[in-house]
Amino acid sequence: MSDDMVKPRTIVVGLIGIATLAALLWVSFRPDPVPVDLHTVSSGPLQVSIDIDGRTRVRELYEIAAPIAGVARRSPVAVGDPVIGGETVVAIVDPVAPGLLDVRSRLQADAQVSEAEAALHVAETDLRRAVEERTHAQSRFDRARTLVERGVSSISQLEDATQRLAVADATVEAAHARIDMARGALERARAELIEPDMTETGNGACCVPLLAPADGVVLSVDVISARPVTAGTRLATVGDLRDLEIVAELLSSEAVRLAPGARAIVERWGGDAPLAAQLRRIEPKARTDVSALGIEEQRVVAVFDLTSAPAGHADLGDGFSVFLRIIEWEAEDALQIPLSATFRAGEGWAVFIVRDDIAHQRAVSLGRSAARTVQVLDGLVAGESVVTHPSDDLEDGVRVVQR
């Protein structure tokens, strides 16, 4: 074989070796693709909600209080008993019993009785004297009238007799009034001597039965055993468990974003299916509350009406715990991606999309955000793949592989 033929072959072999070595070096030093999690951009229903714990409450509570000071008897009803408005007796109050008299008080009361009896005797004596004087004035009037009729006496004498008779009649009436006053004073003095065990027979007082003001059940009994109570003391509470509402305490910044009529979903109340509710009102005054982290928060009470059929939540009672998802905003067809796919890029937001196993950073315009997803207004189309939880190793143009 000639030298001219060997030389080209050597060159070809050398070139092939150099190419192979370059390929091996490129494969060895090429960066590995970054493993990522991918999510496909899609359209669908999206709800933005405020999630908060709440509790049930009977809409109309009726508190039965003692109308007088006295002794409340042992409660005739127990918690949970059904009541009928205007028929069921829920409490009974006896008038307050008189106190026991010590020796000094009893002697004073006895003296008052004796004094009243003496005053009555004086009034009766005055009445007898007034009656006698009227009888005398009547006889003088009759005699004067007879003499005038016969023409023996003058008219002026008859007028004097008439005037004396009228004064005597008035004196008798005044004597009767003084007797009534004396008898009243005597009864009042005798009442001071009434002992506690004489209450029923002494003054004829009886109990005051208190009826249920409306249909429902007994929610609480404040006075179970018999005990003295003052006027206005609450004895029991009645309410209708078929008429429930839900109350929740929202942050004031959340409450201003809600309007009356906002829809809410009631979950974790104990039943199999969630219940429907509707915001009725937000109370106008907030209060300051301290969170578990020691941060002061302004919270306001929101009241919701249960719109589900009462049969679906018949087991709910007053003060039961529930969980509310208050729908702040919702759309039937919204382009959305996970919140974990977005990150800050300057003043805006961006995501990494994957095309042909290469990551590309793209700016996006975001709308409403829910707990885990966010609405995309511009920058993406349905069907594209975005990287969720992008790591610091991910950059524009980097090769990726799905994890």
Distance linking the first and last C-alpha atoms of the chain: 58
Q: Is residue 92 within 8 Å of 209, Cβ to Cβ?
A: yes
- From residue 31, alpha-carbon distances to 21, 28, 34, 140, 351 in Å are 18, 9, 9, 147, 22
Q: Is residue 55 within 8 Å of 246, Cβ to Cβ?
A: yes
According to the 3-state scheme, what is the secondary structure of the chain?
CCHHHHHHHHHHHHHHHHHHHHHHHHHHHCCCCEEEEEEECEEEEEEEEEEEEEEEEECCEEEEECCCCEEECCCCCCCCCEECCCCCEEEEEEECCCCCCCHHHHHHHHHHHHHHHHHHHHHHHHHHHHHHHHHHHHHHHHHHHHHHHHCCCCHHHHHHHHHHHHHHHHHHHHHHHHHHHHHHHHHHHHHCCCCHHHHHHHCCCCCEEEECCCCEEEEEECCCCCEEECCCCEEEEEECCCCEEEEEEEEHHHHCCCCCCCEEEEECCCCCCCEEEEEEEECCCCEEEECCCCCEEEEEEEEEEECCCHHHHCCCCCCCEEEEEEEEEEEEEEEEEEHHHCEEECCEEEEEEEECCEEEEEEEEEEEECCCEEEEEECCCCCCEEEECCCCCCCCCCEEEEC
pLDDT of residue 275: 93
Instruction: In whole angstroms, give the CA distance from residue 10 to residue 13.
Output: 5
For residue 304, give the amino acid letter: F
pLDDT of residue 65: 94
Instruction: In whole angstroms, give the CA distance from residue 254 to residue 50.
Output: 8
Helix axes 103-150, 155-191, angle to 10 degrees: 160
> What strand order describes the sheet that includes 70-72?
208-211, 89-95, 70-72, 227-229
pTM for the model stands at 0.64
Instruction: In whole angstroms, give the CA distance from residue 307 to residue 400.
Output: 51
User: Within 13 Å and on the Cβ side, how many CA atoms surround 354?
Assistant: 23
Instruction: In whole angstroms, give the CA distance from residue 49 to residue 329.
Output: 7
Q: Is residue 369 within 8 Å of 375, Cβ to Cβ?
A: yes
Q: Is residue 237 within 8 Å of 218, Cβ to Cβ?
A: yes
- The residue among 243, 200, 315 whose CA lies nearest residue 62 is 243
pLDDT, tens digit only, all 403 positions of the chain: 445 555 666 776 677 777 776 666 554 555 678 888 999 999 999 989 999 999 999 999 999 999 988 889 999 999 999 999 999 999 999 887 677 777 887 888 788 888 888 888 888 888 888 888 888 888 888 887 887 777 777 778 778 878 888 888 888 898 889 889 988 888 888 888 777 665 454 444 578 899 999 999 999 999 999 999 999 999 999 999 989 999 999 999 999 999 999 999 999 998 889 999 999 999 999 999 887 788 888 999 999 999 988 888 888 989 999 999 999 998 999 999 999 999 998 889 999 999 988 889 999 999 998 889 999 999 999 999 999 999 888 888 888 888 7
Fold topology of 62-96+205-238: OB fold (Dihydrolipoamide Acetyltransferase, E2P) (2.40.50)
pLDDT of residue 202: 40
33-44+333-402 CATH: 2.40.420.20
Per CATH, the homologous superfamily of domain 49-57+241-332 is: Efflux pump adaptor protein, beta barrel domain (2.40.30.170)
pLDDT of residue 326: 94
Q: How far is CA 35 from the centre of its chain?
A: 54
* Pairing label, strands 400-402, 34-40: parallel
Instruction: In whole angstroms, give the CA distance from residue 65 to residue 245.
Output: 24
Q: So where are the chain's domains? A: 33-44+333-402, 49-57+241-332, 62-96+205-238, 103-193
- From residue 175, alpha-carbon distances to 166, 167, 179, 187 in Å are 14, 12, 6, 19
Residue 294: other Cβ atoms inside 10 A: 6
Q: Is residue 350 within 8 Å of 322, Cβ to Cβ?
A: no
